[in-house]
Structures are given as structure tokens and as C-alpha cells.
């Protein structure tokens, strides 16, 4: 991988991100949720979904959801991912991503608001970097005169909380069964950022040109906006469009330390400390989703395509089967994981009444051998209406 590709990965890893889903219903259909009405979770998926389609709907709704997803491209089981597994991998560099999402949201009529918590850990590391740190800790570098390590590593951990305020209204377009438009204002507050960036060739005994920095921050601030549309085209077809991060800014105020590596032992020594500002806006993304629900069937089909500048189109597909007599629903979804490069599968189930709903979901690549899966994740959510 050349330096331009590494730079691209470095810049991507500094971006706060809204990943798959924080609610179990959307998690279980692979994140294909832009085309549906998602109650208070609409502040995350598409604010146009806050407008009630029918009269008599409970004016207040309260929702909370949590999800976690961990994957890597090493080809080894994520439950046993470690430095040895990374070194044994045929991938170079080896990447890993862990993300936890949590959302607490409330809806009153067409108004919505809530707080989203996003914790991410990203790692992109060459085989030589894994080997260098292993040799550094064991003291083996001093025994390998002239050995060359091509060091490329970026490791980023960050916590970002987002306050979301949303509003939606019905549009007077009589050519559709129902059309609504929505808008969200998002205030982002970062509480933790740490990043290690290492590049260059370390040659034992020569003191080669190595760039090594560690950047830390406990203060990040930003604003972004979303706009969405949701249309019921026919009784059995809905279409949603989300313009995510129409405007976006996010900056970390950080301290950055530069290090030099001892040419004999590889030991680190601080050479400089400076204050820096890291600009990491959310990427502008257009999401288009559909929900097909034939009137004579209790089966819904969800599909979505996400378009972000400089990134491949991301496709997500899900299916929901309702059992109204028992207030139950089962779900199945799939999407291509950009970290592992694999097609992941999601399964889930839910229980719902007019006043309460509870959903759970699970994501993997391997069934039933979960311990051999390159990615694992799960989600829970609950909603109360009153």
C-alpha cells in the first residue's frame, strides 16, 4: 500500500462517523431504514419520518437503543483477534474497527430530540509495525542488526456525543398518498480523542527516517445538519431520501507529541510537543431507501443505497415478517462490511403493542459457528408511547 492510500486511511480514521445502527430494528435489516417511519429513532435515520401518517397516534414516544459491532479484515475470528493473528494474516495492512452506538430519543407529534453516543476504535497496521512492536517489547531489535521494518500504523479512539433536534411537516403534494419533509440540527461534543500515527522505514543501527506522533484531546466541537423526504407512493410502497451532513464542521483541540526511535533499541523519546487543531467533519452522504409492503401480505422488504463522495456505494437489504395476532416480528438483513470486506448477515425479532415495543438483533458472518466469525455485533432497543 502506497503513502497516498495510507494518507487516505489516516484522514478517514479521524472522521466522526455514524455507522450501521443504534436501534435493533434497523440493525436487524442491515441498516436499510431510511425509507421507513422509525418513531423517535427517525431523528437518526430520516427526520421526515417524525410526521404521523394517521390521526390518533400517541403524541409522545420515548425510545432508547444500543448496538455494538466489531470486525477486521484479518480473516481470523474476531473473538480471537490479536497481534499473532494479525501477523499470520494474508492481509497487509490489517484493519480492525469496534463501534458502540447508543441513542436516547423522545418524540412529541412532529418534533424530536435526543442524544447519540458514538464510541469508535479504528486500527490500520502493517505486518512490519506489528513485528516491530513485538520485537521492541522482547528486546529482539538489538539482536537483529540491519533489519528493516516498514512502519505504517494509524490507531484512533474517539468518543463523540451528539445532541439532535429535529422537526418534520407534511407537504401538500396530492399526487402522493403522503409526503413529509424533515430537518435535523446536530451539535457534536467530543470527549475523547487519541491517535497514534507511525510511518517510515526503521533500519536497526541506522536511525532511518521515521515519523511517529501521538495526538490526544478531550475537547471536540462541531455542528452539522440533515434534511430528508419521505413519500408514500402507493399503499404498498414508501420511498425515503436523506441528505446527511448537508453542512458539517468538527474540530478537535489537541496536544501532539512527536517521537524519535532509538536506532539501536527502537525505544521512544519525545522530541517535540505542540498544540494542534484537527478538522474532522462528517462526510456528506445521500441515502435513498424504499420500503415495499404489499397490502395483502405481512411481509415488508427494505432496501437502501448510500452514496458518499470518494466511497463505493453501500447497499443494504432487509426483510420483515409480521405476526399481528401474536404482536411479533422476525427480521433478516444483509450488508457489505467495509472493514472485513465480507457480506454480513443480521437476524432479529421484536414484540410490539400500541404502547410498547422491544427489539433485539444479532450480526455475524458465520452461522452457526459464531466463534469463527470475522465480525460480530448486536443491538437492543425499546419504545414507550403515551
Question: Residue 207: its pLDDT value, please?
Answer: 66
Please state the φ and ψ torsions of residue 5, each to the nearest 5 degrees: -65, -40
Q: What is the average per-residue pLDDT within 246-264?
A: 92
pTM for the whole structure: 0.90
How many C-beta neighbours within 10 Å does residue 146 have? 8
Average pLDDT of the chain, as a whole number: 89
Question: Residue 366: its pLDDT value, please?
Answer: 76
Question: Residue 4: its pLDDT value, please?
Answer: 39
The matching CATH number, chosen from 2.40.160.60, 3.30.70.3340, 1.10.150.120, 3.30.365.10, for 3-385 is 2.40.160.60
Instruction: Write out pLDDT tens, residues 71-121.
Output: 999 888 898 888 888 888 888 899 999 999 999 999 999 999 999 999 999
How many C-beta neighbours within 10 Å does residue 340 have? 22
Residue with cell 516498514: 150
* Closest by CA position to 155, among listed 82, 214, 81: 214
Cβ pair 316, 30 in contact under 8 A: yes
Residue 286 has pLDDT above 70, yes or no: yes
Question: Residue 106: its pLDDT value, please?
Answer: 97
Rounded Cα distance, 77 and 125, in Å? 18
Residue 17 has pLDDT above 80, yes or no: no
Residue 385 has pLDDT above 80, yes or no: yes
Which of 134-138, 193-197, 245-249 bottoms out in mean pLDDT, i.e. has the lowest? 134-138
Q: What is the average per-residue pLDDT within 344-353?
A: 94
Rounded Cα distance, 29 and 349, in Å? 10
β-pair type (343-352, 178-203): unpaired
Please state the φ and ψ torsions of residue 313, each to the nearest 5 degrees: -60, 135
More confident residue, 213 or 54: 213
Instruction: Write out pLDDT tens, residues 170-216.
Output: 999 878 889 999 999 999 999 999 999 998 888 887 766 788 899 99
Question: Residue 203: its pLDDT value, please?
Answer: 85
Rounded Cα distance, 174 and 81, in Å? 55
Residue 13 has pLDDT above 50, yes or no: no
Cβ pair 222, 188 in contact under 8 A: yes
Cβ pair 306, 313 in contact under 8 A: yes
Percent pLDDT > 90 in the chain is: 64
Rounded Cα distance, 331 and 322, in Å? 9
Amino acid at each position: 500500500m502506497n503513502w497516498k492510500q495510507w494518507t487516505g486511511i489516516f484522514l478517514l480514521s479521524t472522521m466522526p462517523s455514524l455507522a450501521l445502527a443504534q436501534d435493533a430494528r434497523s440493525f436487524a435489516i442491515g441498516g436499510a431504514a431510511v425509507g421507513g417511519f422509525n418513531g423517535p429513532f427517525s431523528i437518526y435515520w430520516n427526520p421526515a419520518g417524525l410526521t404521523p401518517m394517521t390521526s390518533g397516534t400517541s403524541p409522545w414516544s420515548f425510545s432508547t437503543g444500543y448496538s455494538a459491532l466489531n470486525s477486521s479484515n484479518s480473516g481470523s475470528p474476531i473473538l480471537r483477534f490479536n497481534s499473532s493473528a494479525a501477523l499470520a494474516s494474508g492481509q497487509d495492512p490489517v484493519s480492525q474497527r469496534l463501534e458502540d452506538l447508543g441513542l436516547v430519543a423522545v418524540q412529541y407529534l412532529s418534533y424530536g430530540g435526543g442524544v447519540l453516543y458514538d464510541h469508535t476504535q479504528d486500527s490500520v497496521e502493517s505486518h512490519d509495525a506489528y513485528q516491530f512492536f513485538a520485537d521492541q517489547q522482547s528486546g529482539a531489535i538489538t539482536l537483529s542488526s540491519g533489519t528493516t521494518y516498514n512502519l505504517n500504523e494509524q490507531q484512533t479512539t474517539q468518543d463523540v456525543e451528539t445532541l439532535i433536534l429535529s422537526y418534520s411537516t407534511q407537504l401538500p403534494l396530492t399526487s402522493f398518498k403522503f409526503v413529509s419533509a424533515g430537518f435535523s440540527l446536530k451539535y457534536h461534543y467530543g470527549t475523547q480523542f487519541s491517535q497514534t500515527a507511525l510511518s517510515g522505514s526503521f533500519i536497526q543501527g541506522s536511525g532511518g527516517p521515521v515519523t511517529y506522533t501521538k495526538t490526544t484531546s478531550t475537547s471536540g466541537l462541531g455542528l452539522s445538519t440533515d434534511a430528508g423526504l419521505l413519500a408514500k407512493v402507493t399503499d404498498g410502497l414508501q420511498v425515503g431520501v436523506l441528505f446527511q451532513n448537508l453542512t458539517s464542521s468538527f474540530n478537535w483541540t489537541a496536544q501532539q507529541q512527536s517521537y524519535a526511535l532509538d536506532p539501536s533499541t527502537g525505544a521512544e523519546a519525545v522530541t517535540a510537543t505542540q498544540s494542534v487543531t484537527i478538522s474532522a467533519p462528517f462526510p456528506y452522504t445521500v441515502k435513498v431507501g424504499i420500503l415495499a409492503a404489499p397490502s395483502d401480505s405481512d411481509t415488508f422488504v427494505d432496501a437502501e443505497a448510500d452514496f458518499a463522495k470518494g466511497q463505493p456505494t453501500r447497499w443494504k437489504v432487509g426483510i420483515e415478517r409480521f405476526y399481528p395476532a401474536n404482536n411479533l416480528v422476525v427480521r433478516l438483513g444483509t450488508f457489505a462490511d467495509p472493514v472485513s470486506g465480507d457480506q454480513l448477515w443480521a437476524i432479529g425479532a421484536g414484540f410490539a403493542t400500541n404502547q410498547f415495543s422491544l427489539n433485539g438483533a444479532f450480526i455475524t458472518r458465520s452461522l452457526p459457528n459464531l466463534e469463527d466469525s470475522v465480525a460480530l455485533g448486536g443491538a437492543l432497543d425499546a419504545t414507550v408511547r403515551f
